[in-house]
Structure 1
Amino acid sequence: MRLHPIAEKIFFATLIAVLVLALLPVLRLKELGFDIGFHYDKLNHGVAFAALMLIGSLSWPERKISLMVFLALVGAAIEILQGTTLIGRDLDGLDWAADCVGIGCALVAIGAANSLIRREA
């Protein structure tokens, strides 16, 4: 069994989950038990986008740059949608920065893993 089709399904499921959570009204998030304080919010953004980058890299290993740009644009779009809708959320550039930091951390982890694999081989 190939990993790519499974990773692609996991990527799209994760992307949908991130989009839904990002666009739910604040009151609904609190009802679901999500802590949306400043520190947790930025950490949540970073972890979500790092996970998307890692999973996406398993899905499309030859397209890391395209994936990085796509995810950065998704993060920006989320912020714009949050700032222009009536869901009790606001446009926050620091959220987008946290998304990009998560993407960057994933790229560093991928590079380190690839280096270790090459060293072992």
Structure 2
Amino acid sequence: MTQVRLPFLIALVLALAFAIYMAINPHPAVQVEVYDKWQHMAAFGTLTLLSVLAFPHASLLRVGERLSFLGAMIEVVQSIPALHRDCDIMDWVADTAIIVGVLVVVRIGRGMQRR
């Protein structure tokens, strides 16, 4: 059975709900003037870190694959005209880049811990 750390799981679910809400809401209430790709990277960096903390024994490859798929699906949903959002493949690239970056750091950290 997979070990789950409940506090991090709760934080992950809340962060995931917030990220999805902000991604599909036609008129997000909170608008900070930051480059769009930085917002994507902040969201998916946080989701990646919380995923690894919530599921410490999960495969890093699986975590990365699932989160990258989520980023792609968000872009597909944003292509719905009624949402008045932009579907941009580069947003998914930014999501995936930060996911990979965080997972590489986690892998290196785990390797150093084992020594």
What TM-score do the two structures reach when normalised by structure 2?
0.86
Q: Runs of 5+ in structure 1 lacking a partner? A: none
| Count of aligned pairs | 112
In the other structure, the counterpart of 1:76 is 72
CA RMSD in angstroms comes to 1.9
Q: Runs of 5+ in structure 2 lacking a partner? A: none
The one-letter amino acid of 1:53's match is: T
In the other structure, the counterpart of 1:44 is 39
What TM-score do the two structures reach when normalised by structure 1?
0.82
In the other structure, the counterpart of 1:98 is 94
SS of 2:19's equivalent in the other structure is helix
Larger helix fraction of residues: 1
Structure-1 separation of matches of 2:106 and 2:69: 21
Indicate how the Cα distance of structure 1 residues 105 and 87 shifts in structure 2: closer, same or farther if over 3 A, else same.
same
Percent identity reads 28
In the other structure, the counterpart of 2:14 is 13
Structure-2 separation of matches of 1:109 and 1:48: 17
Poorly superposed stretches of 4+, deviation over 6 Å: none
Determine if contact 1:50/1:102 at 8 Å carries over to the other structure.
yes
In the other structure, the counterpart of 1:88 is 84
Structure-2 separation of matches of 1:34 and 1:88: 18
